[in-house]
Structure 1
């Protein structure tokens, strides 16, 4: 139920952008998530459905690689197939957010701007251990799956390199300036 409400909110935002001339996704501080949100968004960005089979996943105790992406085939909604896309990334872009940028880069659908992503894209579980009589909590993330492209490429440990690298302190301003949407 929560996921459907979340996807409905994404759809409302996309509907409000239906007449835009350029899409800019700022995922520079995005820690990721389950990937369903980006899979839902992707169906409105790609004319061909090749992106749906780009990523493969193999989890603990699985012998074979299988399709990673959630498949959405929503017939309604805005179409951004021909709208230029820019994605702003940083070293704080993790997990499913990295794969959103990675997919767009591999499919040559967007220009990636900013910094190389964290290189922490494999799914996993997290747990915290609190010290007795203390406010200190140790948090651990333990990968339990691997993700790669159908041709064997991956981002784990290396991240997604931007097409245009920025080194300033405000990636959004630099990106908007690069795109031509901001003037000093």
Structure 2
């Protein structure tokens, strides 16, 4: 269903502007964004009939200052809990239950080459560790591996590190999160031990991407690419490197606000705005065939 009931935009804008000011990773940008929202409210730009249309207009304005794709006002057709993050959590759980825990496809191609699709997202590790471990352990016996992230829209950085741990031989520094105002930073490393068997760090590895691949899925591709561990095949990804949290500002609206920024230890930057650039660019529909052919050639050599 959709929401078409008349709503008062002022409380939504006031809450969203306050959250941006208090939480956004770049305080100077936060002031500009909050000011823009209040200006547009005063101009009557948000005088619309429904929450879905308001979400579209506000998201365009939120992203207009610096293009941060994680800075959004998300519409939810069903009413959501007022608790922080509850809207995203409810939607995640439904997706988790209908996607085999985020690993909906495990396939063996000709030549002993395995495909593991991780979609629609990298779910919280406390949910996803068991199904991901099962899929990656089965794939560990393959001669080469293709990780398909074309339909993955992001998720949990801890789950990124968990997956990377199956694809490397030793504990490796993957990423560092720097939080608002430089108050603290947090390093992400692959795990010294994993449940099940590793695919390891020496056999051929390919990662498939599309222009829908986003956020934590981009980090997974970027980490492995920067380490020289994987060849990325497909399309440039969407370009969202800022981890965010969500706040319910209306029964059908959730403000998602980035609170940190990722810095890769190899490149000393991230994929924000630029996306992950594939090593082998091609249409997303052709990416699996390209990666399969590359793997067969590599194994033959």
Normalising by structure 2, report the TM-score: 0.51
* Partner of residue 198 from structure 2, selected from 65, 69, 79: 79
Aligned residues: 172
**Structure 2 unmatched ranges of 5 or more:** 1-123
Q: Which residue of 2 aligns with 1:91?
A: 211
Which protein has greater RCO, CA pairs closer than 8 Å, 6+ apart? 1
Q: Which residue of 1 aligns with 2:177?
A: 57
Separation of aligned partners in 2, 1:154 and 1:73: 25
4+ long deviations beyond 6 Å: none
Q: Which residue of 2 aligns with 1:36?
A: 158
Separation of aligned partners in 1, 2:248 and 2:150: 25
Q: Judging changes above 3 Å, is the alpha-carbon distance between structure 1 residues 168 and 16 closer, same or farther for their aligned structure 2 residues?
A: closer
Q: Higher Cα Rg: structure 1 or 2?
A: 2
Mapping of residues 106-121 of structure 1, within 5 Å = 106-121=226-241
Normalising by structure 1, report the TM-score: 0.80
Q: Which residue of 2 aligns with 1:145?
A: 260
Q: Which residue of 2 aligns with 1:160?
A: 276
Q: Judging changes above 3 Å, is the alpha-carbon distance between structure 1 residues 18 and 169 closer, same or farther for their aligned structure 2 residues?
A: closer
Q: Which residue of 1 aligns with 2:242?
A: 122
Residue 76 of structure 1, CA deviation: 4.9
**Structure 1 unmatched ranges of 5 or more:** 132-136
Q: Which residue of 2 aligns with 1:47?
A: 169
